[in-house]
């Protein structure tokens, strides 16, 4: 029989220590050097001639539109934050629509493409505007002068993925350029 004290110590040691990261750390174009002390334990790796650096923060204490994130991934190119990706535990589509307004939507399978063509995709609820509940594999997109936001929802059975990505507008071009140069 294991003593109770041992069980308590083991339980405490397996707890995830959640930490709040400063909002300035999560803003595009911030400098990697300034953020290094907060990120040192979250460095995933450097790639493409060490011009691209990735940091993964698992189970952060930060909330995003009052929802918990299971992870935040930070993508730096040449020392500047160029993309953030949040994997969220709950849906924030209504919050994003209220914050950013008009959007583009894309379905990722035939069912969702047909639903988008055939129905009104916005519904009113007591929480405000929501996306048509029958949609289960889609992406919302907002494009601004200097950045773009994508929000992906994918439901397969009981598994649900909510992914929010904010990046500088030319991120794919920058990333592709250093990938080609350093391959």
Residue from 172, 174, 165 nearest 73 by CA: 165
Per-residue confidence (pLDDT) for residue 116, from 0 to 100: 94
**What is the mean predicted confidence (pLDDT) over 127-141?**
91
Please, which pLDDT band fits residue 39 given cuts at 50, 70 and 90?
A: confident
What's the pLDDT at 34?
A: 59
The H-or-E segment that residue 116 falls in is helix 110-118
Mean pLDDT of the chain: 82
3-state secondary structure of 37: helix
pTM for the whole structure: 0.82
For residues 134 and 125, which has the higher predicted lDDT (pLDDT)? 134
Q: Where are the domains of the chain?
A: 16-182
Task: Give 45 or 102, the one with higher predicted confidence.
Answer: 102
Report the DSSP beta bridge partners of residue 86. 72, 164
């Amino acid at each position: 029989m294991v003593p109770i004290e041992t069980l308590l110590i083991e339980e405490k040691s397996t707890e995830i220590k959640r930490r709040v990261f400063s909002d300035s750390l999560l803003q595009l174009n911030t400098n990697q050097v300034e953020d290094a002390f907060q990120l040192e334990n979250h460095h995933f790796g450097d790639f493409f001639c060490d011009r691209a650096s990735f940091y993964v923060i698992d189970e952060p204490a930060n909330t995003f539109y009052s929802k918990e994130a299971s992870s935040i991934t930070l993508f730096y190119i040449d020392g500047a934050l160029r993309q953030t990706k949040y994997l969220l535990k709950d849906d924030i589509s209504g919050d994003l629509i209220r914050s950013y307004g008009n959007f583009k939507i894309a379905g990722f399978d035939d069912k969702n493409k047909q639903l988008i063509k055939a129905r009104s995709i916005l519904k009113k609820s007591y929480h405000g505007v929501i996306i048509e509940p029958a949609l289960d594999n889609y992406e919302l997109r907002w494009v601004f002068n200097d950045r773009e936001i994508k929000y992906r929802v994918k439901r397969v059975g009981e598994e649900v993925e909510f992914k929010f990505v904010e990046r500088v507008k030319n991120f794919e071009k920058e990333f592709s350029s250093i990938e080609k140069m350093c391959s």
